[in-house]
Structure 1
Amino acid sequence: MTAWVGIGANLGDAQANVLDALERLTWSPGVRLLRASSLYRTAPIDSSGDDYVNAVAEVDTLLSARALLAVLLDIEQAHGRERPYRNAPRTLDLDLLLYDDEVIADAPALLVPHPRMHERAFVLAPLAELAPALQIPGRGRVAELLPLVAEQAIERM
Structure 2
Amino acid sequence: MRRAYISLGSNMGDKRGNIALALEHLDAITGIHVAARSHDYRTPPWGDTDQDWFINACAALDTSLTPEALLVACLAIETRMGRIRTRKWGPRVIDIDLLDYDGLTLISNDLTLPHPHLMERAFVLIPLAEIASDLMISGRSVTATAHALADPAIIPYD
Q: TM-score, normalised by structure 1?
A: 0.94
Say whether residues 1:12 and 2:18 are aligned partners. Answer: no
Calculate percent identity across the aligned residue pairs. Answer: 40
Q: Equivalents in 1 of 2:151, 2:77: separation in Å?
A: 31
Q: Equivalents in 2 of 1:43, 1:127: separation in Å?
A: 17
Determine the structure 2 residue equivalent to 1:38.
Answer: 39
Q: Which runs of 5+ in 2 are unaligned?
A: none
- Per-residue CA deviations over 1:76-102 (Å, capped at 9, x if unaligned) read 011111111211110000000000010
Determine the structure 1 residue equivalent to 2:58.
Answer: 56
Among residues 66, 71, 95, which one is paired with 2:97 in the alignment?
Answer: 95
Q: Provide the aligned C-alpha RMSD in A.
A: 1.1
Q: Equivalents in 2 of 1:38, 1:6: separation in Å?
A: 12
| Amino acid in the other structure paired with 1:70 | V
Q: Equivalents in 1 of 2:149, 2:125: separation in Å?
A: 8
Matched length? 155
Determine the structure 1 residue equivalent to 2:141.
Answer: 141
| Amino acid in the other structure paired with 1:58 | A
Greater displacement, 141-150 / 5-14: 141-150
| Amino acid in the other structure paired with 2:141 | R
Aligned residues of 2:4 and 2:101 also touching (Cα < 8 A) = yes
Q: Which runs of 4+ in 1 moved over 4 A?
A: none
Aligned residues of 1:3 and 1:59 also touching (Cα < 8 A) = yes
Distance apart, 1:145 and its partner CA: 0.5
Q: Which secondary structure state, in structure 2, belongs to the residue aligned with residue 101 of structure 1?
A: coil
Say whether residues 1:78 and 2:80 are aligned partners. Answer: yes
Determine the structure 2 residue equivalent to 1:106.
Answer: 108
Determine the structure 1 residue equivalent to 2:156.
Answer: 156
Q: Which secondary structure state, in structure 1, belongs to the residue aligned with residue 18 of structure 2?
A: helix
Q: Which runs of 5+ in 1 are unaligned?
A: none
| Amino acid in the other structure paired with 2:147 | P
Among residues 67, 70, 74, which one is paired with 2:69 in the alignment?
Answer: 67
- Per-residue CA deviations over 1:102-137 (Å, capped at 9, x if unaligned) read 011113x20111111111111111111112110112
Distance apart, 1:148 and its partner CA: 2.5
